[in-house]
Each structure stands twice: as structure tokens, then as C-alpha cells.
A and B are shown apart, each in its own frame.
Chain A
Amino acid sequence: MKELLQDSVYFGVLISLSSYILGIWIRKKTRLSYMNPLLIAIIITICFLLVSGVSYKSYSSNSSWISYLLTPATICLAVPLYQQMELLKKNSKAILFGILSGVLASLVSILLLALLFSFDHNTYVTFLPKSITTAIGMGISEELGGYVSISVVVIIITGVLGNIFAEGILKLLHIEEPIAKGIAIGCSSHAVGTAKAMEMGAIEGAISGLSIVVCGILTVIGASIFALFL
């Protein structure tokens, strides 16, 4: 049985998709915002692998076509961005300041927390790119001498946190402007958070998508500078 699951071409996709569908179903039934389909899917899949003894390596190679679609899907974010062009032009100043403050807040907060917990240089730079999209974040972490595998996990968890808590936190802080919500989600929790922003509204989604791109590029520069501080 274990060999069948290890070697199956379809099983990895089957378990990922069905746990995600189950997650959507649980959220609909319970109506609780922290019952996040992505989080549920991750937990179920992890439990399944642990119980069945199927290795992560064989699971990830069997489910690779799901990840294969990630780059094309990210590129598609250009479409809502284009559709919101007018809004973008009208609010360019707010968007620019918002994104700059987000990038700085990320780098400064990591620096302060790293000092507080007396991280060494390598651990510090592992966390520096945590709020940006996985592919850029991995590159930065590697470049600066971080632990890349930890960076990947931290980046994904950051995204999941944003995806789950964004709605509640923004409400709590009285951030009501759709553009401000989009910036807050995109800057803090990249593409995983953007998936949530897309559900919240077209403007939120488009602006969140824009923030991924701009934050990602600014952090390449910002992180190299901040890496010198510790």
C-alpha cells in the first residue's frame, strides 16, 4: 500500500485537492473565519503523510503540477491590476507611501526582534525577506547567507497568517478603505494573503497583487542594506 501511495502519479494531487475541498466545506459549515481552507488542507495533508509514512519528497514530486501553475497564476494578477488602472493613477501617492512604509516596517521590525532575541547574522537574514513572495524571498535569503529552507516555511506561514487574520485585524484597526486593505494584505502576506484579498473585493485584490510586485523588488534592495546592521 505504501509503495502504491509513494509511486502513484495522482495520489499527491488527490490528497491535496480533497483536503482543500474538505477545508472549504468545514468553513461553510462552521462559518468561522479562522477555519481557513488552506490551513485545514495543510494540516490534513501533513497528518496524512505522517500516518501513512509517505515521504515529503515523493509527495511533492507527485503533486508538482499544482505548484507548476503558481507562476502562471501569479502572472494573471496583472489582469485585475490593469482593470483597476484608473484607481491606481488616482491614488498613486497613497499607494506609494503605503508600500514604502510596509517594506520599512517589515525590515525594521525584524531587526528589532532579532536584537531582542539575540539572533546571529544567519538567522536574522533568514527572517528579513519573510513578508515577500516565496520565490524572491528564497533568493534573498540565499544571497545573504540565511537558512533557505527555514525562510520558505516562515514566508508561507506569514502568508497563511495574513490569509486567516487579515479580515479581523483590518476591521479591528478600522482600516476601511479598499486600497488600504489591499496594501496592508499584499505588503504583509504576499500571494497567499492576496488570495484572501481577491475574495474581499476586486480593488483589494488588484492592489494587493501590485504590492507583491513592488514590495518584492524594494525588499531585494532593502534587505541587502539591512543585512549590514546585524
Chain B
Amino acid sequence: MKYIIQFLIIIAFSFLGEVFHFLIPLPIPASIYGILLLFTALMMKWIKVNQVREVSTLLISVMPMMFIPAAVGLIDSWSIIKSHLLTYIIVTVVSTFVVMATSGFVTQYVIRRDNKKGEE
């Protein structure tokens, strides 16, 4: 029963996210509205963490698996991608690692600078 209620709450927020997506004409999906709404509900204490804890932990831990069907869609786009394969791979790989390095460095720099300031 407990798990059914937890699942119900999570599905209710997914639906609320869909409602927002329907009402607001921006390319922002239901899932993003849903995160913001659930986060707000937790902050406002409308929902307690123990009312969603187990099911949310389970869903997050099996999340990688949920990307399999979409990724297998590569089969259908293969014919368009094939002719520019090398270029597309270079662009994807380079920019992914540039973003990872830049954002990681900047964050770490600001954290460590602030920590030093705090110690002085």
C-alpha cells in the first residue's frame, strides 16, 4: 500500500508537469516542470520525503535502462548520419568534453577560492 501511494504521488506530479507543459507555450517538457513542482512541494512541506523515498530511489536507480529504446532509434537515423559520420562524431565528442572540463573547472575554482577566503 505504501509503495502504491508513493507511486501515485510521483505519477500525479508527472501529470501536473504535463498540465504545465500544455498551458505554457515554451519548448520545456513535462519532466522539467515536474521536478520544479515536486521540489517546491518538498520545500513547502506539502509532501514529506518519506512519502516518496523508496519508489523515487528505485526509479532513479533503474533510470539508465530507460534510455535503451530511444538510443536504439539510431538504427532509423543511420542512413542520414552515415555520410557525415566522422564529422558528427568529432563535433559530439569534442564539445561534450569541452563542456565537462569548463564547467567542472569553473565550479571547482569558485568553491576553492571561497573556501580560502573563509579561512583567512
Binding site for A on B (CB under 8 A): 10-11, 13-14, 17, 26-32, 34-36, 38-39, 42-43, 49, 52-53, 55-57, 59-77, 80-81, 87-88, 90-108, 110-112, 114
Contact = CB atoms under 8 A, between A and B. Distances in A.
A168 to B, nearest CB: 11
B91 A117 contact: yes
Interface residues of A, number: 107
Q: Is the interface of B mostly helix, strand, loop or mixed?
A: helix
Given A16-B65, A162-B96, A184-B103, A220 B42 contact: no
A80 B60 contact: yes
A65 B81 CA distance: 28
Interface in A53-109: 56, 59-60, 63-64, 66-67, 69-83, 85, 91, 93-95, 97-99, 101-102, 104-106, 109
A75 B91 contact: no
A125 interface: no
Interface of A: 12, 16-17, 19-20, 37-38, 41-42, 45-46, 49-50, 56, 59-60, 63-64, 66-67, 69-83, 85, 91, 93-95, 97-99, 101-102, 104-106, 109-110, 113-114, 117, 127, 130-131, 133-136, 139-140, 142-143, 147, 149-150, 152-154, 156-163, 165-166, 169-170, 173, 175-177, 179-181, 183-185, 187-189, 191-192, 194-195, 198, 205, 209, 211, 213, 216-217, 220
